[in-house]
Each structure stands twice: as C-alpha cells, then as structure tokens.
C-alpha cells in the first residue's frame, strides 16, 4: 500500500461508516427512498451510487475484485431495505481495502488503469476525487434525511477521532 493509499483508507472507512449510520437513522425502509421536490435521487440511491462507484473504481479496477457495476440500477431503484443498502456499503468498504492494498507507486503515479468517461486522470488524484465524491454524497444523504424526517440527529460525520480508530 502506498503512503497516499494509507492516508486515504481511514478517510474512506470513516465516511463509509458514517453513511451506514446515516442510512440506519432513517425511521423505516420506505423513507430511505423518498425525495423532496426538486431532488431526483433519494438517500438510498445516493448510497447505492457511492457503493457502486467505489466497488467499481477501487475494487474492480485497482483490486481486481471482479465486481461488475450496474450504474443505472443505482439511480433507478426505488425500494429496498436499509439493511441491503448497508450491505452494499460494507461491500464497498471491503473493495476499498482490497483496491488500496493492491496499489503500487507506479500505478498511483500513472494514469488511472481504466477510462473515467473520456478522461484518464492520474490515479492518485482520482483516488482523492473519489474520497471527496463520497463526502459530498454523505452530506447529501444527511441533509435529505433531516429534510424528510425533521430529525436533526447527527450521524457523526467528519469525526477526526474516528480517523485514529483501527478498522
């Protein structure tokens, strides 16, 4: 594992754990799939999108996990259990751990091994992008849950103390 991967791993773990807690804070399975006017995606869709994104780019591309992404399903699904969404996030955690463990300095410094749309960003920069992408969607899920439920409870996002915890 490269030093960058070692630095990103606790951040990705922390934010995935927080997204799991955010999903669990929804009062029931149905509310996870609700939206508000002007918002196309539910917190369930956002969580599935993050899980698929990380399982594909970090797990399958870097860690050779064999995961096959179904991006359309991430946004089309409109029902399911909180437990099934958490299971997808747990699979994303395992994929992140496998992919970052396999990262070499040469791969990190070069173009990402698979195209990202029409782009081939430097792998290290793309990994940092994936971490901020997760954080962005974690925030969306939290705001959406609060707007839908009126519950201001915190899932504990951005905890510095959690960065120091072991897996």
Q: Exposure string (b/e) for 36-71, b if CB count within 10 Å is 16 or more?
A: eeeeebbbbbbbbbbbbbbbbbbbbbbbebebeeee
Alpha carbon distance 159, 11 (integer Å) = 10
| Mean of pLDDT values over 106-130 | 97
Asked if residues 130 and 57 have their Cβ atoms less than 8 Å apart, the reply is yes
User: Among 55-59, 79-83, 115-119, 160-164, which is the least confidently predicted range?
Assistant: 160-164
| Mean of pLDDT values over 89-114 | 97
Helix (H, G, I), strand (E, B) or coil at 36: coil
Q: Provide the 10 A C-beta neighbour count for residue 138.
A: 24
CA distances 165 to 48, 51, 100, Å, are 25, 22, 18
Q: What percent of the chain has pLDDT over 90?
A: 91
> pLDDT digits over 22-35, tens only?
999 999 999 999 99
* Residue ranges of domains in the chain, CATH in brackets: 3-155 (1.20.120.450)
For 88, phi then psi, to 5°, come to -65, -40
Average pLDDT over the chain, rounded to an integer: 96
| Mean of pLDDT values over 79-84 | 98
pTM assigned to the model: 0.96
> pLDDT digits over 35-77, tens only?
999 999 999 999 999 999 999 999 999 999 999 999 999 999 9
Alpha carbon distance 55, 51 (integer Å) = 6
Confidence (pLDDT) at 167: 64
User: Among 4-8, 9-13, 151-155, which is the least confidently predicted range?
Assistant: 151-155
């Amino acid at each position: 594992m490269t030093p960058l991967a070692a630095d990103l791993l606790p951040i990705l773990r922390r934010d995935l754990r927080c997204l799991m807690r955010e999903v669990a804070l929804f009062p029931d399975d149905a509310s996870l799939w609700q939206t508000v006017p002007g918002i196309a995606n539910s917190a369930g869709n956002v969580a599935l999108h993050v899980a698929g994104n990380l399982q594909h780019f970090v797990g399958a591309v870097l860690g050779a996990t064999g995961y096959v992404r179904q991006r359309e399903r991430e946004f089309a699904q409109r029902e399911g259990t909180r437990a099934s969404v958490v299971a997808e996030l747990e699979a994303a955690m395992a994929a992140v751990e496998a992919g970052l463990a396999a990262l070499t300095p040469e791969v990190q410094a070069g173009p990402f091994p698979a195209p990202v749309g029409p782009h081939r960003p430097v792998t290290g920069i793309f990994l940092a992008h994936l971490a901020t992408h997760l954080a962005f969607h974690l925030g969306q899920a939290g705001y959406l849950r609060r707007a839908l439920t009126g519950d201001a409870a915190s899932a504990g996002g951005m905890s510095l103390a959690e960065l120091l915890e072991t897996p």
